[in-house]
Structure 1
Amino acid sequence: MISYQLSVISDQLSVISYQLSVISYQLSVISYQLSVISD
């Protein structure tokens, strides 16, 4: 039972990690666009 819970938690963490990487990518794109606009 504990091992099952750990696997579920692991899956959730991997999903969160993926979402954070997507957010990071979007922020970098926004940052790039702002730098282009400021120039």
Structure 2
Amino acid sequence: MSYQLSAISYQLSAISYQLSAISYQLSVISYQLSAISYQLSAISYQLWACGHATPNSLCP
């Protein structure tokens, strides 16, 4: 019985470790998506500024 409990405890620890790894990967993906969103916002602002600039000096 003690061996079975140890085996179950080990399996639960392994599952917990895997969930932690998945959580970390999701955090990295979330950070990358935030960075992409920031870049898209910057591009959108540049395009807006280009369209609304009196002299087209802001246009690339």
Normalised to the residue count of structure 1, the TM-score between the two structures is 0.98
Count residues with an aligned counterpart: 39
Which structure has more relative contact order (CA 8 Å, sep 6+)? It is 2
Give the number of the structure whose alpha-carbon radius of gyration is greater.
Answer: 2
Q: Structure 2 CA distance, aligned partners of 1:16 and 1:33?
A: 26
- Unpaired segments of 5 or more residues in structure 2? 1-6, 46-60
The aligned amino acid for 1:35 is S
Identity between Structure 1 and Structure 2 (%): 82
Q: Which residue of 1 aligns with 2:14?
A: 8
Structure 1 vs Structure 2 CA RMSD = 0.2
Shift >6 Å, 4+ stretches: none
Normalised to the residue count of structure 2, the TM-score between the two structures is 0.64
